[in-house]
Structures are given as structure tokens and as C-alpha cells.
Amino acid sequence: MPATDGPWIRAGGALVAAARMPGVAWAWSALGHRRRARRFAAAELAVDLAGAHCVVTGASSGLGLATARALAGRGATVWLLCRDAARGEAARAEVAACGGDARLVVVDVGELGQIRRAAAAIDAPRVDALVHNAGALPHARAVTGDGHEVDFAVHLAGPHLLTKLLLPRLRAARGRVVFVSSGGMYSERLRVDDLQWRARPYDGVAAYAQVKRAQVVLTELWAAREPTIAFHAMHPGWADTPGVAAALPGFYRATRRFLRTPAEGADTIVWLAAAQPPPGPSGRFWHDRALAPTHLLPGTADDPADRAGLWTALERATADR
């Protein structure tokens, strides 16, 4: 994605506009996290993950790498799912230096055939945590090799299929699944009439916000179907990651000194994946280790038909061919 301003100045403005409610922008900044972190219970993450297997997508940088480092540092075997082999190997070496065991699986999570091969390559007998962190924010509509729009494939279809394929091992561990959503989802409602932007002009910011909204709904749907597995969604606030810098350069320059570090952004991911006692309840949305509302703006409430339609669309997209 080109690191030029162009329409992404508008994108940064849209993200700021979505947060124009009293205290929200401050809450999503580094200052908000650091204020809340004073109340975090350190004992909840003083855990020994030896013998645990954790899968993290998008683990070569940013939040994914910070999550993998934190889990490995507690003794887990961490499976790093990365799209680029060279960057993935560099991340694997960095994570291995933290402790535990780091293993690389090269996969583009938007390509369903690659997801199937990756699930087979993860030869763990159990999966204690599955973190869906991989993301994309394309500036123009693009499709994967399967013919799916990239936002839909990377944030929804790929994670849905990977969850299904790892389900027996998640059940065996009574594991946890974490969807890394975004506060940008507050600006959009769930709509399934054109999930892949075939019938309307593509808007990269709206497309991203809509799939992030859909991830929160998908978390709720999975939780209702799999009571032995804990499903969580969260948003990390505004974090200083390579993805933000590349996709939203204008926004990044304007807010850089207020952005969270990757470790601060990943803190709640790690907490949801590993804390003892386990956070609860399943199927909820979290921010800074606390339950967060799923709707802040009028007109964004979910229609039951759209919720059912999301599951149907994902089952159809990920069916064996």
C-alpha cells in the first residue's frame, strides 16, 4: 500500500470523527492506557504457559509480534502465522529469544487454500489460544485468489475458516479465541447485503470499519455455538504499528506522540488469551481489560437478520470446494 496521503487524509479524519465523543480519543491514546494500567492486577498475567500452544496471525510486526513475544515469554509454544517468509523468520527468532518455543507458518490468511494448509502444518495436539490479528486496509477494492474482496477475506472468511479447522484442538484445551477488532467499528453498522462491495463504490475506510464491526458480531455468534471455548473481541486503541503508519500516514503524523506502543496495544490481547482466572464472559467486547460497549453511535444497532446472514455468508464462503 503506498505511503502517500491522498484519500488517507480523509481516512484519518474519519477515524478521528468516529471517536468524537467525550473522553473517547483520550481513552484510546497511550495516556488512557497508562492511566488504566495502574489498576491492572499483575497477578492475572503471572502465569506459566509451559505446555500451552498459542496461534497468532499477523505475527511479524506490531500487535501480533508484541502478543507473540508476551506469550512466549510466559513459556508457551507460539505458532507465528505470517505472510512474508523473511519477515516471519526474523519475528520467529525474536520471539524465540523471549523463551518458550516459536514456530513459523507462512500463510496469507486471506487465501483459504493457504489457511487449510496452515492448519494442517500446526501439528499441536491442542490449541490453548488463537489470536486473529492479521489485518489489511486496502485503498482500492481488490480480490484474493478465491475471488473474495480482501477486507472480507482477511478479517472474516480466513479467521472463520481457521477457527473451524482448529476447533477440535480448541475444544480439547477449553481454549480461547481473540478477535482483534478496532474502535473504528463504532462508526458502522453490520450490513450483509453487500459484504464484498460488489454493488457500490468501494470506500476503504468504511469497508475496514464494517469488517471490524462484523468481527465483533462473529465473536458473539461463535460464543453461542461453542460454550466450551471462550470467544473474545477487543480493540487495542490507537497503537503505533507499521500498519497504521503505512495505511494512514496523515493520521499517523498527527497523532504519533499520543499513540500506544505495540506492547500497550497488545496488553488486552495477551490478558484475554492467557490470564488466570480466565476473563469472562465469553462473546463480549473488551478494551483495556474491561468490558466495552459494542455500540456508541445511533443507527449502528445490529439487525437480527443481518447477524444470521453473516454466519450464512461465511459458511458459504469457507465451504469445501
Q: What average pLDDT does range 291-300 have in this prediction? A: 93
Query: How much is the average pLDDT of 270-280?
Result: 96
At 189 the pLDDT is: 95
CA–CA gap between residue 283 and residue 297 (Å, rounded): 21
pLDDT at res. 257: 78
For 45-76, how does the pLDDT look when each residue is reduced to its tens digit (9 = 90+)?
Answer: 999 999 999 999 999 999 999 999 999 999 99
CA–CA distance from 300 to each of 185, 296, 303 (Å)? 10, 8, 9
Question: Which residues have C-beta within 8 Å of that of residue 276, sequence separation ≥ 6?
Answer: 44, 47
Distance CA 51, CA 4 (A): 45
**More confident position, 228 or 243:** 228
In whole angstroms, what is the distance from residue 141 CA to residue 143 CA?
A: 7
Report d(CA 59, CA 90) in Å as an integer.
Answer: 11
- SS3 letters across 88-140: HHHHHHHHHCCCCEEEEEECCCCCHHHHHHHHHHCCCCCCCEEEECCCCCCCC
* pLDDT of 181 over the 90 cut: yes
d(CA 107, CA 98): 23
- CA angle, corner 38, sides to 32 and 41, nearest 5? 120
Rounded mean pLDDT of 286-291? Answer: 97
Query: How far is the CA of 88 from the CAs of 52, 85, 195, 198, 266, in angstroms?
Result: 21, 5, 30, 33, 18
Beta carbons within 10 angstroms of residue 103's beta carbon: 18
- From residue 202, give the alpha-carbon distance in Å to each of 42, 85, 142, 197: 44, 30, 10, 6
pLDDT at residue 251, as a whole number? 66
CA dist 51 and 126 (Å) reads: 10
* Type of residue at 276: Q
Percent of the chain exceeding pLDDT 90 equals 81
Of 4-18, 37-51, 235-249, least confident by mean pLDDT is 4-18
Per-residue model confidence (pLDDT) at position 195 = 96
Length of the chain: 321
Give pLDDT, residue 246. 66
pLDDT value of position 75: 98
Mean pLDDT of the chain: 91
Q: What is the pLDDT of residue 23?
A: 57
Domain boundaries of the chain, sorted by first residue: 8-317
Catalytic residues: 208
CATH code for the structural domain at 8-317: 3.40.50.720
Cα 289 to chain center, whole Å?
15
